[in-house]
Chain A
Amino acid sequence: MISLLTADQKEKYTEFRDFIKTNVEPCASKWDQNQEMPGEFIKLLGNSGYLGGNIPTEFGGKGWDLVTFGLLNEAVGRGISSLTDLFTIQAMVSMTLLKWGTKEQKDKWLPSLAKGDVIGAFALTEPNVGSAIQNLETKFTKQGDKYILSGRKRWISYGEKADLFLIFGKDENKSVAALITKGTPGLEISPLKNMMGFRAAHMAQLTFHDIEIPEINIVGKPGFALSHVAPIGLHYGRISTSCSALGLLRACFEESIVYAASRKIGNKFVGEEGMIRSLIAKMGTDLQAASLLCYTACKAEDEHTPDVYEKVQMAKYFTSKAVVKAASDAVQIRGASGCHESSPVARYYRDSKIMEVIEGTTQIHEKMLGKTFVDRANKLKKEK
């Protein structure tokens, strides 16, 4: 895949890998065990400009193409998945505002999001609503020139650390999206600890106790929050997650080949065993296939082609499934040492499963992609 990148993109990838090797990999295990992404490190990310990589320069971002954004997510995902989740939600909030925000909302929030002075959170999932977002129970009730927000959100990445929340709910039959800030009266943030994976992603539950929201905080227009506003955020979330899963897959592969080439069983290296070679062959092939799917999807976004959404779904679907298999095999190759937290593959195993759940489960992607492909029969039927 690297051969298909431009010189600038290759250079950025090297920069990202060096940054992660120096600043993240030595601490990844500790952050995971402590369930904490240190504030000083988030500040460092802000200073580097990485949190606003895909925000246009006119709003203080770097204005990268999506392939470069994908490369950053892959490099970070190679280090620790909990951190990529920060890039995921920052992109989800930023890019949604860029597309659907008012001029005032963009001018106010995008520069701060780009610098990392403001951390965003994308609050869609609820205790009773995951994939079926049409059934949201969070309520926006119109009262004069403001809305009253009530309800709960759960499994909100970086909810504990966020400064700006993009909340989705309904006003009777109309879907609504709105911004609220940390410290808003009536906003209760409850950290959710002891997740299986993504343990340093500061997951939280949000409870809204009749929060007053002025109309100027509405994003997009009422009635379009689920059809047009949320899908933009979810789309960028899937791009980020796909490339993050790709980084994790690369980590599994690299750990496995190094182990297989170094560890001996009797007089033979582990990698000399046919069964181990078989596992590694599958992992390496999946890595290459996932890489092509991920960067084809990023390139489609850069070219703004209408099929970008299915390309991103395919990348997310394939890569998240492949990484679960790869992480499981990475543990298998290492044996008992892979089952202990002293080895990074134990963390890879826990984190990998989350990839299949967030930003649309594997089953949801199968349902949507299956429909997309069958619908295309129309054209073929006419050609016959």
Chain B
Amino acid sequence: MNTEAIQPTRETIRSFILESINIPDLNDDDNLFETGIVNSLFAIQLMTFLEKSFSIEVTMDDLSMDNFQSVNATSLFVERKQNN
């Protein structure tokens, strides 16, 4: 997938995370969960944000850390869902 094409999605997701979590900055490949940046409540907040903002539905089949571990991974997941 063309990573330039997902830039607006990436910006939207990064902004949401930075407005929700008290960290100075966030690299697009930082692992959100392994570094302890976010807690479990944030996991479903992020999921709801994605569903609402991008008109997608996260289902059981989407439960994979590969889909949510970083800003880049989440952006690619959103694009895939929108294109399905």
Contact = CB atoms under 8 A, between A and B. Distances in A.
A306 B48 contact: yes
Nearest to B25: A378
B13 to A, nearest CB: 12
A220 B63 contact: yes
Contact of B52 (A228, A235, A306): A306
A305 B48 contact: yes
A258 interface: no
B77 interface: no
Contacts of A100: 59-60, 63
Contact of B60 (A102, A231, A372, A374): A102
B43 A305 contact: no
B3 interface: no
Contacts of B63: 100, 220-221, 223-224, 228
B40 A226 contact: yes
Contact of A374 (B22, B24, B40, B65): B22
A220 B21 contact: no
A221 B41 CA distance: 17
Interface residues of B, number: 26
A384 interface: no
Interface in B55-69: 59-60, 63-65
A5 B43 CA distance: 31
A375 B60 contact: no
Contacts, number: 65
A228 B63 CA distance: 9
- The residue among A227, A228, A308 with the most chain B CB atoms within 10 A of its own CB is A227
A235 B43 CA distance: 13
A375 B43 contact: no
A304 B21 contact: no
B15 to A, nearest CB: 9
Contacts of A306: 16, 45-46, 48-49, 52
Given A221-B60, A378-B19, A378-B23, A231 B51 contact: no
A378 B22 contact: yes
Interface string B15-45: 0101111111000000001000001110111
B47 interface: yes
Interface in A191-238: 220-221, 223-224, 226-228, 231-232, 235
A374 B21 CA distance: 9
Contact of B40 (A221, A227, A376, A379): A227
A298 to B, nearest CB: 15
Given A100-B60, A306-B48, A306-B52, A231 B22 contact: no
A368 interface: yes
Nearest to A100: B60
A368 B39 CA distance: 10
A102 B46 CA distance: 22
Given A374-B22, A375-B22, A378-B18, A304 B40 contact: no
Contacts of B39: 371
A221 B40 CA distance: 15
A299 to B, nearest CB: 14
A379 B19 contact: yes
18 contacts: A102-B60, A223-B65, A226-B40, A228-B43, A228-B63, A231-B41, A231-B44, A304-B52, A305-B52, A306-B49, A309-B44, A372-B41, A375-B21, A375-B22, A376-B20, A377-B22, A378-B22, A378-B24
Q: Give the 9 A-B CB pairs with smallest separation, nearest first.
A: A306-B49, A375-B22, A221-B63, A227-B40, A224-B63, A379-B19, A306-B48, A227-B43, A231-B44
Given A228-B63, A306-B16, A376-B19, 8 more contacts: A100-B59, A102-B60, A226-B40, A227-B44, A228-B43, A304-B52, A309-B41, A378-B18
